[in-house]
Amino acid sequence: MTHPSLSKQTWSLDHGALIDLCQRQNNLLIIQDLDGVCMGLVKNPLTRTLDPEYVRAARQLDGHFYVLTNGEHIGNRGVNRIVEKTFDPGTVAQEGLYLPGLAAGGVQWQDRFGTVSHPGVSSQELDFLAAVPKQISQRLHQFFQRQSENDPNIPACIEAAVLDNPVSPTANLNVFYDLLADKIEIYAQLQQEMQVLTAELLAQAQSQGLGQSFFVHYAPNLGKDAQGNEILQPAAAQDAGTTDFQFMLQGGIKEAGVLAILNRYYHQRTGQFPLGTDFNARQAPQSHAALVDLVKEKFDPAQMPTLIGVGDTVTSKAIGENGELRFQRGGSDRNFLHLIQALGQEFDTHNIVVYVDSSGGEVKNRKALQLERISDSPSGANSLHRVVTGPGDDRDTADPLTLNVVFPEGHTQYIQCFQDIARCRHH
């Protein structure tokens, strides 16, 4: 039994219906982002924490739950370190408490026992990526020397900003947005500096025969330009704009990761890999339409699960041109959520798109959901609410992505629901 009505809702607060759907649907696959969804957004990734009950709930959903993140499982700032800090040493691997799924956009696979692989990635590509963090660090030091900024906090901020992820090295500017709060023009120049650096890194890769190996992911972003490159979101008052400049492997895009997870999920249920044993996200087509067509061609409709996609980064920004408005639609989770929505429509599986409002975290580049009370209870007790403003531009009425179920209170509200789902399915 499915809940077709829930898949047609927009900004629903009926979390009970979501729990009920997940309890009743045997053929269920939850694909979930991490930062801002099951843990709060923080300026320094080293300070992230996970609720141990959430991690245990994820294990209860074994086989029906996978993560899909632009972060990484491994490395100093990987999610595995957070999981390991949450439990006694040795417990995590022994009990299979690692979060299974794809990281680095789709090129780093992990099972729940912490076995990690990089399907389709060459040693030459890994060597190139290993040298990127040092270049980011050098460029940040040079930038602040040119600016004659003598703030004693700068060295520590640079250390926090350079994320030495093995397959997605990143410049994370969150700490600088705070440091330069009264100098927004310098922060905007820093954004431009990181844009220039990543372009130079792509040119270096080209010169080493790796011209097709990498791309740059901006988080958040304003969608893609005509050449398929992501568009930087400039900083503005009270809005940090693009904070993360991720140097990533081509194919490391979340929507391709959906196909890689589906391929493994089908094997788990049927013993067959619809896309082949060795398929990886780097082999997936790049366009939304081609991804949908490939699933329609290769996957048995009778085995297609009801998919629940969960994310927190969806943007829509109005741009005025010749007296007319057009909208730049982006966000790290938009494309994979849109693909899940489209597959639900194609296969009539009533897939659900879940949005977690992460605007309450330390990173100030998210628009909060706006609610209004619709009950008559004067005390507010047991009052009913509805969402009146979503995360995008209110004027963007043609946005193809529908957020079916939303969690306005952020990750704490979501992980409570997630635990309820696991408990219901486990009993």
Please check the confidence at residue 145 and state whether its pLDDT lies above 60.
yes
Predicted local distance difference test score (pLDDT) of residue 378: 59
pTM over 0.85: yes
Q: Where do we find the tokens 């820093």?
A: 190
Residues 208 and 270 in one domain: no
Residues 387 and 422 in one domain: yes
Residues 297 and 354 in one domain: yes
Distances (CA, A) of 20 to 140, 205, 220, 421, 423: 50, 49, 33, 8, 11
Residues 113 and 138 in one domain: no
Q: What is the mean pLDDT of the chain?
A: 93
Residues 401 and 388 in one domain: yes
Residues 127 and 116 in one domain: no
**Residue-range definition of the domain harbouring residue 82:** 4-122+252-426
Beta-carbon contacts of 365 under 8 Å, excluding residues fewer than 6 positions away, are 220, 233, 239, 240, 241, 242, 243
The pLDDT-based confidence of 297 (bands split at 50, 70, 90) is: very high
Please check the confidence at residue 274 and state whether its pLDDT lies above 90.
yes
Residues 173 and 95 in one domain: no
Q: Where do we find the tokens 């998210």?
A: 366
Residues 271 and 393 in one domain: yes
Residues 397 and 276 in one domain: yes
Please check the confidence at residue 9 and state whether its pLDDT lies above 90.
yes
Predicted local distance difference test score (pLDDT) of residue 187: 95
Instruction: Kindly report the CATH number assigned to the domain that includes residue 395.
Output: 3.40.50.1000
The domain total for the chain is 2
Please check the confidence at residue 2 and state whether its pLDDT lies above 50.
no
Predicted local distance difference test score (pLDDT) of residue 182: 87
pLDDT tens track for 310-357: 999 999 988 877 778 889 999 999 999 999 999 999 999 999 999 999
Residues 360 and 397 in one domain: yes
Residues 172 and 243 in one domain: yes
Predicted local distance difference test score (pLDDT) of residue 238: 80
Q: Where among 200, 223, 249 does a domain terminate?
A: 249
Residues 85 and 17 in one domain: yes
Q: Where among 249, 272, 302 does a domain terminate?
A: 249
Q: Where among 188, 222, 249 does a domain terminate?
A: 249
Which phi and psi (to 5°) does residue 270 adopt? -120, -15
